[in-house]
Amino acid sequence: MIIAPRSLGVTDIVPLALGSTVLGTGGGGDPYIGRLMAQQAIRECGPVTLVDPDDVPADAFVFLVGMMGAPAIMVEKLPSGKEVLEVIDVLSKNLGRKITHIGCLEAGGINAMIPIAAAARTGLPLIDADGMGRAFPELQMLLPSLDGINATPLALIDEKGNHLVLETKSNRTAEGIARGVVVEMGATATMAFYPLTGTQVRSSLVPRTFSLAYRVGLGLLQARKDHQDPVAAVATQIGGRVIFTGKVVDVMRRNVGGFHRGQASFDGTGAWSGRSLAMDFQNEFLMAKIDGATAITTPDLICIVDAQSGEPLTAEQVRYGQRLSVIGSPCYPRWRSEEGLRTVGPSYFGYDEPYSAFIA
């Protein structure tokens, strides 16, 4: 099995960015911006050491880092790259302890790239893991929450250097307060949160996410090079299957409360001709219905790629007239637990129907 290189160079970022965008299920922020940030940091500071979670010492001290807010706004308000260093410093000073490793909040878009840039600029190792195994829209929607681990103290910083450290009694409360602050910061902010030990890293994060993203991206690039079907290559690498291919005929979107919300509608082409698909999203793709019947819901992965090139798209990149394929894939198993479904299942997002596990 291919794993990501233990030393990440500039050229490794391309497959990593592609794969993490697939896994991000439409969310996580703009992958192109993130890729440029990671590549520039490596060019200026040198390669990043990627560490398997099983090799992280028990007494390690880890922060998860990334951005919070509406992904569409991140494209307009570009981060400089210095924010993540400043927010790490703010949280370290608050806790009176320096971190030893960088952790990834979610496998998606810019939020998979920011930890790489942070690791390059701090010289700290990056852990080959993340908090979700995909992307979700709210900060309590990480596996450490299921283990009772506090998201706070949480540090937030905007592009102007305004920052705060938040401490709350529950992670759901942290989400509500932080979301309101981020709206005041202009709808995006960089954060460091979920202080973890090495022992907690091994028990509460999804292992080897960067390696999976690397395989997905590498498989996609190889399929293009070999003139094979890139969509099929993506589906194979994530253990999923294509559930629909069609043309985008309508997109409704809006930024509400720090989220990018909306729905996209497709008319089927090829084998799906005469059929329709409706897709809901809140930063991430949450539910897909084919001909009015639910085909797949959160927390399983709903990934959208270009029907010809296999290029993955985020929710804010979906436009009228595009020919796209929708790939479904089972989520990380812990999300299918009773507590996991209470946190990220259909009912949490207001859907009045039970979760039915997607079968690839």
pLDDT in tens, 133-142: 999 999 999 9
Contact predicate 187/159, CB 8 Å:
no
Distance CA 219, CA 149 (A): 35
- β-sheet bridge partners, residue 106: none
Contact predicate 34/109, CB 8 Å:
yes
pLDDT at 86 over 70: yes
Please state whether beta strands 61-69 and 101-104 pair in parallel, antiparallel, or not at all (unpaired): parallel
Question: What is the DSSP secondary structure assignment for residue 47, as one 8-state letter?
Answer: P
pLDDT tens sequence across 45-56: 999 999 999 999
Side-chain-side CA neighbours of 237 within 13 Å: the count stands at 31
Q: Can you tell me the mean pLDDT for 29-50?
A: 92
Q: Can you tell me the mean pLDDT for 152-164?
A: 94
AA letter at 312: P
Determine the pLDDT at residue 27.
Answer: 86
The percent of residues in the chain predicted with pLDDT above 70, rounded, is 96
Q: Can you tell me the mean pLDDT for 215-219?
A: 96
pLDDT tens sequence across 308-348: 999 999 988 999 999 999 999 999 999 999 999 999 999 99
- β-sheet bridge partners, residue 101: 62
Q: Kindly compute the dihedral angle of the four CA atoms of residues 86, 88, 93, 96, in this order, to the nearest 10 degrees.
A: -170
Contact predicate 56/128, CB 8 Å:
no
Q: How many separate helices (H) and strands (E) can be counted in the chain? A: 11, 16
Question: What is the DSSP secondary structure assignment for residue 6, as one 8-state letter?
Answer: S
Report cis status (omega within 30 of 0) of the bond before 15: no
Contact predicate 325/262, CB 8 Å:
no
3-state secondary structure (DSSP) of residue 318: coil
Which of 6-20, 141-155, 252-266 shows the lowest mean pLDDT across its residues? 252-266
Contact predicate 62/99, CB 8 Å:
yes
Which CATH number is associated with domain 7-209? Answer: 3.40.1610.10
pLDDT at 72 over 70: no
Alpha helices in 46-141 (DSSP H): 71-76, 82-95, 109-122
Q: Can you tell me the mean pLDDT for 89-114?
A: 95
Determine the pLDDT at residue 5.
Answer: 80
Determine the pLDDT at residue 77.
Answer: 66
Parse the chain into domains and list their residue ranges.
7-209, 229-349
Which token pair is 35?
A: 């890729």
Contacts of 64 by beta carbon, 8 Å cutoff, 6+ apart: 103, 104, 105, 115, 131, 142, 192, 193, 194, 196
Report cis status (omega within 30 of 0) of the bond before 137: no
pLDDT at 80 over 90: no
pLDDT at 151 over 90: yes
Q: What are the respective helix, strand and coil percentages of the chain, to the nearest 5?
A: 40, 30, 35
Which token pair is 235?
A: 């589906």
Which secondary structure element, helix H or strand E, spans residue 144, and what is its range?
Answer: helix 143-146
pLDDT at 284 over 80: yes
Contact predicate 316/269, CB 8 Å:
no
Contact predicate 217/233, CB 8 Å:
no
Determine the pLDDT at residue 283.
Answer: 84
Q: How far apart are the first and last CA of the chain?
A: 20
* Closest among 275, 332, 266 to 129, alpha carbons compared: 332
* Closest among 221, 284, 279, 225 to 19, alpha carbons compared: 221
Q: Can you tell me the mean pLDDT for 153-181?
A: 95
Which token pair is 93?
A: 């000073």
Q: Can you tell me the mean pLDDT for 239-249?
A: 98
Determine the pLDDT at residue 130.
Answer: 98
Considering all CA atoms of the chain, what is the largest pairwise distance in Å, rounded to the nearest integer? 61
Determine the pLDDT at residue 240.
Answer: 98
Domain 229-349 has CATH 2.40.390.10: yes
Determine the pLDDT at residue 79.
Answer: 72
Average pLDDT, the chain: 93
Q: Can you tell me the mean pLDDT for 174-194?
A: 92
Q: Can you tell me the mean pLDDT for 224-243?
A: 97
Determine the pLDDT at residue 255.
Answer: 72
What is the pLDDT confidence band of residue 28, given thresholds at 50, 70 and 90? confident
What is the pLDDT confidence band of residue 257, given thresholds at 50, 70 and 90? low
Distance CA 193, CA 281 (A): 25
pLDDT at 30 over 90: no
Angle among Cα 141, 143, 144 to the nearest 5 degrees reads 105
